[in-house]
C-alpha cells in the first residue's frame, strides 16, 4: 500500500514539474518583432530575460496569446490595499517588483520603491492625472494598433468630434502602419507603450532601453512623429524604468481611471461602473483597443454612452499632452 502511495506522489510531482516547464515557454517569434537593427544586440543579452520566447509561433498563435493576455489577472492584479482609492491594476503591479536583493548577473537591481514615492520623486515626469480644478479629462487607448478595434474607436471619436491618445505597441505598429497613420491624420496623439508589453520593472536596463527605442523608431518610421509620451505596460515602473524614460525625454503617463475593459470585455455594467465612479477633473481614462478580429462590445455599445454621460456632466475630452501641458512629440 505504502509503496503504491509513494509511486502516485512521485508521478504527481513529475506531472507538476512538466506543467511548470511547459507554461514557462512563450510562443512568440521574437526576431520578427524587433526592428532588424536591434536584433543582433538583443540576442546578446537574450538569456537575461525571463520572458524568453521560443521562435516557432505563427501569427495566429500570437493573436491568441495577445488576446488571452487580458484573461490573466493574476499577473496584473495584486491585492489592493484597503487604503487604495483607485483600482489601477497596473499601478499595483509596481509594489510587487523584485526586492533589491535579486540582482542579476549583469548588475541589474530593480528597486522596490513604493509608487507613491516615485510620483513625488519624478514629479513633472510621471503623471497619473492632470489638474483636478479643470473640467478636462483624457481618453486613452492602449495596446494598439489593432486590426478591428482601433478603427472602431477612430470611427467613434470622429462621430463625436473627440481627440484621444493612443499608447501603441511597437510590434503592432509595424503590422498595422495604416492604422497608425489614420490615428495621426485624424488629429489624435500617438505615444509609446513598449515594443512587446513586458513588465519593464523586471527588465535589465539595456532591455528597457531597447523596448523604448524600438517603439520610438517604429512610430517615427510610419508617422515621422518623435513620440514624447510613454506608458509602461501594467503601469509597472520602478526607478530604473523612470530614469531611462526621463533620460530619453519622455513624460510617463499612467491613469486615474481603469475602465477594466480588459477584464470584463462583455460585462458592460461593470465597465460603466468602474469608469464613472472614479472620473473627476483631470482624469486620465484607460481603455484598450484589443487585438483580434472581433469588434469590441465596450467600444460599440458602451463607449458612446459614456462619452455622452461625461459630456453632459460638463467634462471636455482632450489629449494627454493638452491635459498635462506637456509636449506630445520631441
Ligand atoms: Ni497594455
pLDDT in tens, 174-192: 999 999 999 999 999 999 9
**The whole model's pTM is what?**
0.71
Distance of CA 11 from the midpoint of ligand 1 (Å) = 39
CA of 137 to the centre of ligand 1 (A): 20
Query: What pLDDT is stored for residue 283 in this prediction?
Result: 98
Compute, in angstroms, the gap from residue 74 CA to the centroid of ligand 1. 15
Cα 159 to Cα 60: distance, rounded to the nearest angstrom = 32
Matching residue, cell 475630452: 317
Ligand 1 centroid to Cα of residue 139, in Å, is 14
Look at strands 257-258 and 284-288 and give their pairing: parallel
Alpha-carbon distance 212 to 198, whole Å?
11
First to last CA, the chain: 73
Q: Which three cell numbers stand for residue 231?
A: 506608458
Burial of 242 (0-12, 13-18, 19+ CB in 10 A): buried
* Residue 140 Cα distances to 136, 137, 259, 264, angstroms: 13, 10, 11, 17
Q: What is the pLDDT of residue 164?
A: 98
Annotated catalytic sites, by residue? Answer: 142, 288
User: What would the DSSP string read from start to end of 244-272?
Assistant: HHHHTTPEEE--SEE--TTT-TT-HHHHH
What DSSP designation does 207 have?
A: H
**pLDDT (tens digit, 9 = 90+) per residue, 21-32?**
544 433 333 333
Predicted pLDDT of residue 201: 95
Question: CA 80, 77, 281: angle at the middle one, nearest 5?
Answer: 65
Neighbours of 268 (CB within 10 A): 18
Distance 183 CA to ligand 1 centre (A): 18
| Res 6: pLDDT | 73
Question: Which stretches of the chain are assigned E, i.e. beta strand?
Answer: 126-127, 136-144, 165-168, 189-192, 229-230, 251-253, 257-258, 284-288, 316-318
Average pLDDT, the chain: 77
**CB neighbours of residue 79 within 10 Å:** 9
The length of the chain, given as a count of residues: 330
Whole-number Å distance, alpha carbon 165 to ligand 1 midpoint, is 13
- In angstroms, the CA 227 to CA 327 distance is 9
C-alpha cell at 273: 461602473
Each of the 330 residues of the chain gets a pLDDT tens digit; together they read 556 667 566 655 555 445 545 444 333 333 334 443 343 333 323 333 333 332 222 333 333 333 333 333 333 332 222 223 333 334 334 333 333 333 333 344 566 788 899 999 999 999 999 999 999 999 999 999 999 999 999 999 999 999 999 999 999 999 999 999 999 999 999 999 999 999 999 999 999 999 999 999 999 999 999 999 999 999 999 999 999 999 999 999 999 999 999 999 999 999 999 999 999 999 999 999 988 889 999 999 999 999 999 999 999 999 999 999 999 999
Rounded-to-integer distance, Cα 281 and Cα 295, Å: 30
The alpha carbon of 288 and the centre of ligand 1 are apart by a number of angstroms equal to 8
SS3 state of residue 34: coil
State the distance from the centre of ligand 1 to the C-alpha of 1, rounded, in angstroms: 52
Dist. CA 151–CA 153, nearest whole Å: 5
CA of 234 to the centre of ligand 1 (A): 6
Q: How far apart are CA 253 and CA 130, in angstroms?
A: 10
Q: What is the pLDDT of residue 160?
A: 98
> What is the pLDDT, as a whole number, of residue 292?
87
pLDDT of residue 113: 86
Residues in a beta bridge with 191: 167
pLDDT at 45: 33
Amino acid at each position: 500500500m505504502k509503496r503504491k502511495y509513494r509511486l502516485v506522489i512521485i508521478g504527481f510531482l513529475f506531472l507538476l514539474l512538466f506543467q511548470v516547464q511547459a507554461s514557462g515557454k512563450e510562443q512568440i517569434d521574437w526576431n520578427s518583432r524587433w526592428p532588424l537593427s536591434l536584433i543582433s544586440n538583443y540576442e546578446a543579452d537574450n538569456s537575461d530575460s525571463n520572458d524568453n520566447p521560443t521562435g516557432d509561433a505563427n501569427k495566429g498563435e500570437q493573436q491568441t496569446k495577445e488576446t488571452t493576455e487580458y484573461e490573466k489577472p493574476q499577473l496584473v492584479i495584486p491585492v489592493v490595499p484597503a487604503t487604495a482609492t483607485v483600482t489601477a491594476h497596473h499601478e499595483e503591479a509596481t509594489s510587487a517588483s523584485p526586492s533589491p536583493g535579486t540582482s542579476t548577473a549583469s548588475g541589474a537591481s530593480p528597486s522596490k520603491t513604493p509608487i507613491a514615492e516615485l510620483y513625488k520623486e519624478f514629479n513633472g515626469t510621471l503623471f497619473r492625472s492632470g489638474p483636478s480644478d479643470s473640467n478636462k479629462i483624457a481618453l486613452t487607448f492602449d495596446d494598439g494598433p489593432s486590426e478591428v478595434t482601433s478603427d472602431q474607436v477612430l470611427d467613434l471619436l470622429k462621430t463625436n468630434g473627440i481627440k484621444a491618445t493612443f499608447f501603441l505597441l511597437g510590434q503592432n505598429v509595424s503590422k498595422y502602419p495604416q492604422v497608425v497613420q489614420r490615428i495621426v491624420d485624424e488629429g489624435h496623439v500617438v505615444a509609446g507603450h513598449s515594443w512587446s508589453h513586458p513588465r519593464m520593472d523586471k527588465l535589465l536596463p539595456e532591455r528597457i532601453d531597447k523596448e523604448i527605442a524600438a517603439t520610438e523608431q517604429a512610430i517615427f518610421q510610419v508617422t515621422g512623429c518623435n513620440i514624447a509620451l510613454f506608458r509602461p505596460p501594467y503601469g509597472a515602473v520602478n526607478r530604473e524604468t523612470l530614469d531611462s524614460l526621463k533620460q530619453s525625454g519622455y513624460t510617463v503617463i499612467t491613469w486615474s481611471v481603469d475602465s477594466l475593459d480588459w477584464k470584463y470585455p462583455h460585462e458592460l455594467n461593470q465597465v460603466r461602473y468602474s469608469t464613472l465612479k472614479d472620473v473627476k477633473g483631470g482624469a486620465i481614462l484607460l481603455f484598450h483597443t484589443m487585438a483580434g478580429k472581433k469588434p469590441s462590445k465596450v467600444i460599440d455599445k458602451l463607449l458612446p454612452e459614456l462619452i455622452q454621460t461625461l459630456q453632459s456632466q460638463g467634462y471636455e475630452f482632450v489629449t494627454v499632452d493638452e491635459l498635462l501641458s506637456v509636449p506630445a512629440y520631441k
